[in-house]
Structure 1
Amino acid sequence: MEATGVLPFVRGVDLSGNDFKGGYFPENVKAMTSLRWLKLNRTGLCYLPEELAALQKLEHLSVSHNNLTTLHGELSSLPSLRAIVARANSLKNSGVPDDIFKLDDLSVLDLSYNQLTECPRELENAKNMLVLNLSHNSIDTIPNQLFINLTDLLYLDLSENRLESLPPQMRRLVHLQTLVLNGNPLLHAQLRQLPAMTALQTLHLRSTQRTQSNLPTSLEGLSNLADVDLSCNDLTRVPECLYTLPSLCRLNLSSNQITELSLCIDQWVHVETLNLSRNQLTSLPSAICKLSKLKKLYLNSNKLDFDGLPSGIGKLTNLEEFMAANNNLELIPESLCRCPKLRKLVLNKNRLVTLPEAIHFLTKIEVLDVRENPNLVMPPKPVDRATEWYNIDFSLQNQLRLAGASPATVAAAAAGSGPKDPLARKMRLRRRKDSAQDDQAKQVLKGMSDVAQEKNKKQEESTDAQAPGGKVRRWDQGLEKPRLDYSEFFTEDVGQLPGLTIWQIENFVPVLVEEAFHGKFYEADCYIVLKTFLDDSGSLNWEIYYWIGGEATLDKKACSAIHAVNLRNYLGAECRTVREEMGDESEEFLQVFDNDISYIEGGTASGFYTVEDTHYITRMYRVYGKKNIKLEPVPLKGASLDPRNMSGLAACAWSARAMSSTPSPGASMPGAPSARPWPRTDWHSPRLGEEEEGALSTFC
């Protein structure tokens, strides 16, 4: 390959898994002068190869899982080096050179799983550091000056060390997004620095001796904190500061001593994963049913029984995993089987006797673990009960007998339903006919007779219009369909394959919506929804809906209804188009989207033209002349007011005392058609010195 001249153009090489223990390292690597990244993981290296000095453009170097005891060598001579990953080696304090921290571009340093007992010296000089991982070492203290310069850190992992305190300068890490402190004996650390880290998104404090007294009272300022791990601590209840996190999505409180949950958990409206395993819980509050976005709930190894699970747990419609192994459950609430998205149900090591019959209706279940429940009897699978409705006695006597009525009541009901008298029925009909002799009744009967006769006449005339096979066509089949071309709106393959197709009304025309946006409706738009499926006979069938947004304009509402009918005519479907309005959708429509629709503010532009208001330009004229009145435009300012003449601004006229003869407002205006005079009622003529504030404010 060297002979071909390719090596100088190589940008990255992964040599992981090769054996370089014997000091052999390919010399051709130094010919890769344009190399940007190099991976030497699990290669048995004991020292850094000399060939690295030729890689002046190297940016990323990974030497993990080797036998390195030192990083001394050519690293400091690589000016473009950005990332050094040397985890899982045998590095000690003296093995980390000080000069690598003078590299201007160094932003990633991973020295985890080594033998460091203190932070590398001169580490505070790496002012551009973004990612720092010193986990799984034996570091017992952090220098105070470390975080004075490293203020741009985004990721900091100090887990599994021997830290007993944290420097107060950590409050300067205002850009930090991930902080991992697992496995440190921080009993006396109050963590007062946390509220200042406003950009924090992930906080892991597993096995750090947390109690109610050494946690901040409030974390309300951490509006981005979404992932919190407080497992393996000494908490007896949920810390109050967790209830103030507005964006909390994942919370791990397993392996604590929590005995109860507060009703305040309903504030976790965004929580998707909640782990409460290995605690002392005996019951769950009903407020947990308000966590509408909860997907994973872990309750293993507690003291829960049937009464400890709320009956409304079925309201967790997004629940996918429910684990309650090693508890005291004899039964589970039937509502739990109404969670439509439940995929994993783990109930092993309980005292289960049986399960609800609705367990058979969990269509998405993938894992059902009920092992080590010796008394468990699975419920029988429900049979089809349609045949049970045949040969049912719906008589009054039988229904009264089933309702527990007395024999006398049953006998009286039987006596009251004796044989019918045809003669009495005929007499009743005759009296009813004789009593309907008023004019209005006659007109109604006559109209009905005329309609019936006309219908019979049409049926006799259409005997020749019969369908193949001798069957008479229905009335709707005899209607002539409009001869319209729908090809510019709908393609030929529409409705030919089972599935869902959605159009959005835009500028009077339906526009196809991508599948990724199905179920997401803009409040100011209208949509047409086509569901194609195979009926029992294997033929294509359709359901057509048109959805109206709450803020939709009139043109979109009308076009959605019109094009829904056009779609039905184009497919030749016999179904009707169903109108669905925002916030009042039918259950059939919601089932099309598995009860998962969302509304988004906004919408496309309306197809109507926008009418702009006419803007009038304000002008002022000077009126002069005695016999022949003339107008002359003048600038719109106070200096244009001449005491010898008269001026007009819109419907306001200004006249001066010095005028020898003031032209009358009723005088003819030159240039106007037929010299029509100005209406006197539209004028207001203040004299000189009597100007009104409103009339002169225009000139200010």
Structure 2
Amino acid sequence: MANTGVLPFVRGLDFARNDFSDGKFPEAVSLMTGVQWLKLDRTNLNEVPKEMGQLLKLEHLSLTRNNLEKLHGELTELGCLRTLNLRRNKVRNSGIPIELFNSEELSTLDLSHNNLKEVPEGLEKAKSLLVLNLSNNQIDSIPNSLFINLTDLLFLDLSNNNLETLPPQTRRVANLQTLILNNNPLEQYQLRQLPSLVNLETLHLRNTQRSLNNFPTNLEGLVNLADVDLSQNMLPKVPDALYSLPSLKRLNLSENEITELSTAIELWQKLQTLNLSHNKLKSLPASLCKITTLRRLYVNDNEIDFEGIPSGIGKLGLLEIFSAAYNQLEMIPEGLCRCVMYFVDNSSGVLIISYIFKGMKDIVTEKNKNKQEDETRAESLKPKRWDEKLEKPPLNYSEIFEDDAGQIPGLCIWEIENFLPNRIDECTHGKFYEGDCYIVLKTLLDDSGSLTWKIYFWIGKKASLDKLACAAIHAVNLRNYLGAQCRTIREEQGDESEEFLSLFDTQITYIEGGRTLSGFYTVEDMIYEIRCYRIHAAGASIHLETVAIAPESLDPGYVFMLDAGPKIFLWYGKTSKNTLKSKARLMAEKINKNERKNKAEILTEMMGKESTDFLRVLGIHDDEYRLVPQEHVDPDFVPVQPRLYQVRLGMGYLELPQVEIPHGKLTQNLLNSKNVYILDCYVDVFVWIGKKSTRLVNAAAVKLSEELFNMIDRPDFAMVTRVREGTESQ
């Protein structure tokens, strides 16, 4: 970079994911005095490069996920700095210079996920701050002076700290739109300042020890409050003050102690999502049926029976999801026939998850489509002029996109599934699966008050060709539907534009695999997920217990299989039994034959003599690291028996009766090629797809397996895996 100083037109530099440790930062950057934004995420920095002190026009600086403990004086010289993102470092209070906050331009500051024990000294001088994120630190108090000057704040995140109260001056930040206080011990805090925050739109108080005694009695002034999270608290009923919120759209009251709902819920005439899961409800009031805007209703893990569901629930014409897992339902209410519903583990003794009449609707739609095709085919036999053949068929985009798409300022995201866009929930915004494609719509208001739009389509690096093509096509369809005078912008994983990244409040994350099905059922090159298994004896066979891919998982008394796709490692502990070693070898050979076409390499690793390749796959990149496994597995450990469910089409719904597994051993004769099965191993969930099964049942089974997966807490390394008949082994 010796000649970078001759590029005065350069306005931004993205150096993310480089290694600039030990003074490797390029000195020539200091010559690029016109640079306005600089991205140094994941660059292994342990100090701020001195070259940055020369970038006097720098406005936006991102230093996330480094090893910074101190911020030296170089940052205090950047008088034009507007955005400073120091998320996920090791910054301490002693490492932050007071002069850093003297800038009159600083409007966005992110110090989340650091080692702060108190609010940085001098922060109250940053009078232009609009966005402040101090979450995930160890802060136990907020100084009185902080909110006296920071009256322009729009966004404040103090979640995951040790706060017991907030100062009275909190009422001065009257412009605040988002307040997040999740996971703080605020039992003694009365929230008296809350009614003064009249511009509040989002309020998250999850796990803050809320009760009826420390919740405000009057919130009538919060006419803009649309998103409230009061989950994981101690509420015996819905606080009366919530009924006075006219703009409420999303309300999360899950994991409380609520026993009944007031008829006053009908006052929530804009409510779209209501989560009441994990409470003590026995019934839902009839007034619920008057919330005609309701789209998603979650009442999992309550005590609701058939009589507890109001008969008029069918009047909720916009209801898309009614989730009632773990209740006492024996029958499906007729009024819910238009919804996507989940009734799991109810008192009937049969696991019934209804995807339901939506499937019947799809069948009817398919029949109508065939009828129309027959009519079209007959019409095509009539002679036509040559220019008539050039006419394009009209498209009804309202059947593809929702009526409210692009009508409200904010962000909407659709994932591509089976050729069509499927809108995803706001809680998953910024989380992209590598095997999927998405359409992202940003709706804005211009100076005249008119709506404007920006449309992007995001491509995962492992996405199939049909998803990529459909994302591009439907992005254009969305533009046509809105009548937008804008272009559609392609964004690729790992190469997203700054404009796209700025759409999200936090850094976007990539998730391995794909959440949605491809529209095609073509044979593709196998993509291997690296997995690690601990081998146990199970009678005449063996059991593979999924464990984390980490050195800590290894135990000297066991054999482990580290499956890396082209290479299968068998690690033998010093005190492991020879019978386990031989059976593990046979299992590896079976996997190689059935799944890898005998192209994988089976490698043996002896404890204390591990190869570099094995250590690399295990996540160890230090050549001097010495692997010393410890005994930690309970000698009385007994693997949990898996549960096998058959997915089949019943009378208008999908049934999942449990299949008995004799002696806990899954054999081929339990499976029928005409059906789809879900195997829940309590860590992983597998979907077995028979060769003769229908496409409708296949698609539903994948969604149902994800519901099963999310119903209980599983390890971070757990996953849902699809297995087609003929490729199974493990």
User: When the two structures are superposed, what TM-score results if normalisation uses the length of structure 2?
Assistant: 0.50
Question: In 2, Cα distance between the equivalents of 1:517 and 1:256?
Answer: 34
Q: What code does the residue aligned with 1:346 have?
A: Y
- Judge conservation of contact 2:343–2:353 (CA < 8 Å) in 1: no
Taking a change above 3 Å as real, the CA distance of residues 358 and 71 of structure 1, as seen in their structure-2 partners, is closer
2:393 corresponding residue in structure 1: 497
1:245 corresponding residue in structure 2: 245
Q: What code does the residue aligned with 2:77 have?
A: S
Deviations 1:447-493 (A, max 9, x none): xxxxxxxxxxxxxxxxxxxxxxxxxxxxxxxxxxxxxxxxxxxx989
- Post-superposition shift, 1:495? 8.0
Taking a change above 3 Å as real, the CA distance of residues 175 and 277 of structure 1, as seen in their structure-2 partners, is same
- Judge conservation of contact 2:344–2:352 (CA < 8 Å) in 1: no
Taking a change above 3 Å as real, the CA distance of residues 198 and 38 of structure 1, as seen in their structure-2 partners, is same
Taking a change above 3 Å as real, the CA distance of residues 294 and 501 of structure 1, as seen in their structure-2 partners, is closer
1:195 aligns to what SS in structure 2? Answer: helix
Quote the sequence identity (%).
55
1:9 aligns to what SS in structure 2? Answer: coil
Deviations 1:271-305 (A, max 9, x none): 00000011011110111111111111111111111
1:351 corresponding residue in structure 2: 347
1:154 corresponding residue in structure 2: 154
Question: In 1, Cα distance between the equivalents of 2:361 and 2:263?
Answer: 30
Taking a change above 3 Å as real, the CA distance of residues 493 and 219 of structure 1, as seen in their structure-2 partners, is farther
Taking a change above 3 Å as real, the CA distance of residues 220 and 494 of structure 1, as seen in their structure-2 partners, is farther
Question: In 2, Cα distance between the equivalents of 1:277 and 1:193?
Answer: 29
Deviations 1:96-155 (A, max 9, x none): 110011111111111111111111111111111111111111111111111111100001
Deviations 1:628-679 (A, max 9, x none): xxxxxxxxxxxxxxxxxxxxxxxxxxxxxxxxxxxxxxxxxxxxxxxxxxxx
1:308 corresponding residue in structure 2: 308
2:289 corresponding residue in structure 1: 289
Q: What code does the residue aligned with 2:172 have?
A: R
2:73 aligns to what SS in structure 1? Answer: coil
Taking a change above 3 Å as real, the CA distance of residues 364 and 9 of structure 1, as seen in their structure-2 partners, is farther
The structure with the largest alpha-carbon Rg is 1
Deviations 1:481-508 (A, max 9, x none): xxxxxxxxxx989986254599xxxxxx
- Post-superposition shift, 1:32? 1.7
- Judge conservation of contact 1:334–1:356 (CA < 8 Å) in 2: no
Question: In 2, Cα distance between the equivalents of 1:516 and 1:139?
Answer: 43
2:185 corresponding residue in structure 1: 185
Gaps of 5+ in 1: 367-379, 385-490, 503-514, 521-700
Matches for 1:97-246 after TM superposition, within 5 Å? 97-246=97-246
- Post-superposition shift, 1:327? 1.3
Q: What code does the residue aligned with 2:328 have?
A: N
Deviations 1:168-205 (A, max 9, x none): 01111110000011111111111110111110000001
Taking a change above 3 Å as real, the CA distance of residues 517 and 313 of structure 1, as seen in their structure-2 partners, is closer
- Judge conservation of contact 2:151–2:172 (CA < 8 Å) in 1: yes
Q: What code does the residue aligned with 2:393 have?
A: L
1:203 aligns to what SS in structure 2? Answer: strand
Question: In 2, Cα distance between the equivalents of 1:207 and 1:162?
Answer: 12
Question: In 2, Cα distance between the equivalents of 1:118 and 1:44?
Answer: 25
Question: In 1, Cα distance between the equivalents of 2:173 and 2:334?
Answer: 49
- Judge conservation of contact 1:47–1:69 (CA < 8 Å) in 2: yes
Alignment size in residue pairs: 383
- Post-superposition shift, 1:352? 4.0
- Judge conservation of contact 2:5–2:28 (CA < 8 Å) in 1: no
- Post-superposition shift, 1:351? 2.8
1:362 corresponding residue in structure 2: 358
Q: Given the alignment of the two structures, is residue 40 of structure 1 paired with residue 36 of structure 2, yes or no? A: no
Question: In 1, Cα distance between the equivalents of 2:173 and 2:403?
Answer: 39
2:276 corresponding residue in structure 1: 276
Taking a change above 3 Å as real, the CA distance of residues 351 and 64 of structure 1, as seen in their structure-2 partners, is same
Question: In 1, Cα distance between the equivalents of 2:249 and 2:358?
Answer: 26
2:301 aligns to what SS in structure 1? Answer: coil
- Post-superposition shift, 1:73? 2.7
- Post-superposition shift, 1:7? 2.8
Q: What code does the residue aligned with 1:150 have?
A: L
- Post-superposition shift, 1:54? 1.4
Question: In 2, Cα distance between the equivalents of 1:125 and 1:357?
Answer: 56
Q: Given the alignment of the two structures, is residue 80 of structure 1 paired with residue 76 of structure 2, yes or no? A: no
Deviations 1:196-231 (A, max 9, x none): 111000000111110001111010100000000000
Question: In 2, Cα distance between the equivalents of 1:345 and 1:228?
Answer: 24
Deviations 1:236-276 (A, max 9, x none): 00000000001000000000000000000000010000000
Taking a change above 3 Å as real, the CA distance of residues 353 and 155 of structure 1, as seen in their structure-2 partners, is same
Q: Which protein has the bigger strand share?
A: 2
- Judge conservation of contact 1:331–1:353 (CA < 8 Å) in 2: no
Question: In 1, Cα distance between the equivalents of 2:346 and 2:353?
Answer: 19
Deviations 1:416-463 (A, max 9, x none): xxxxxxxxxxxxxxxxxxxxxxxxxxxxxxxxxxxxxxxxxxxxxxxx
Question: In 1, Cα distance between the equivalents of 2:119 and 2:404?
Answer: 53
- Judge conservation of contact 1:223–1:245 (CA < 8 Å) in 2: yes
Question: In 1, Cα distance between the equivalents of 2:397 and 2:217?
Answer: 52
Q: What code does the residue aligned with 1:497 have?
A: P
Q: What code does the residue aligned with 1:58 have?
A: L
Matches for 1:440-459 after TM superposition, within 5 Å? none
- Judge conservation of contact 1:9–1:33 (CA < 8 Å) in 2: no
2:156 aligns to what SS in structure 1? Answer: strand
Q: What code does the residue aligned with 1:254 have?
A: S
1:322 aligns to what SS in structure 2? Answer: strand
- Post-superposition shift, 1:53? 1.1
Q: Given the alignment of the two structures, is residue 18 of structure 1 paired with residue 14 of structure 2, yes or no? A: no
- Post-superposition shift, 1:360? 5.6
Question: In 2, Cα distance between the equivalents of 1:517 and 1:493?
Answer: 32
Question: In 1, Cα distance between the equivalents of 2:349 and 2:119?
Answer: 58
1:362 aligns to what SS in structure 2? Answer: helix
- Judge conservation of contact 1:332–1:355 (CA < 8 Å) in 2: no
User: When the two structures are superposed, what TM-score results if normalisation uses the length of structure 1?
Assistant: 0.52
- Judge conservation of contact 2:5–2:29 (CA < 8 Å) in 1: no
Taking a change above 3 Å as real, the CA distance of residues 494 and 39 of structure 1, as seen in their structure-2 partners, is same
Q: Which has the higher contact order (CA 8 A, sep 6+)?
A: 2
Q: What code does the residue aligned with 2:188 have?
A: H
CA RMSD of aligned residues (A): 3.0
Question: In 2, Cα distance between the equivalents of 1:232 and 1:501?
Answer: 40
Matches for 1:382-531 after TM superposition, within 5 Å? 497-499=393-395
1:557 corresponding residue in structure 2: none
- Post-superposition shift, 1:8? 2.2
Question: In 1, Cα distance between the equivalents of 2:232 and 2:149?
Answer: 33
Question: In 1, Cα distance between the equivalents of 2:4 and 2:46?
Answer: 32
1:19 aligns to what SS in structure 2? Answer: coil
2:8 aligns to what SS in structure 1? Answer: helix
Taking a change above 3 Å as real, the CA distance of residues 171 and 495 of structure 1, as seen in their structure-2 partners, is same
Question: In 1, Cα distance between the equivalents of 2:40 and 2:354?
Answer: 56
Gaps of 5+ in 2: 368-386, 407-730
1:695 corresponding residue in structure 2: none
Question: In 2, Cα distance between the equivalents of 1:165 and 1:106?
Answer: 27
Question: In 1, Cα distance between the equivalents of 2:403 and 2:182?
Answer: 40
- Judge conservation of contact 2:343–2:354 (CA < 8 Å) in 1: no
Q: Given the alignment of the two structures, is residue 8 of structure 1 paired with residue 4 of structure 2, yes or no? A: no
- Judge conservation of contact 2:133–2:157 (CA < 8 Å) in 1: yes
- Post-superposition shift, 1:33? 1.3
1:91 aligns to what SS in structure 2? Answer: coil
Question: In 2, Cα distance between the equivalents of 1:63 and 1:365?
Answer: 51
Question: In 2, Cα distance between the equivalents of 1:494 and 1:71?
Answer: 65
1:84 aligns to what SS in structure 2? Answer: strand
1:321 corresponding residue in structure 2: 321
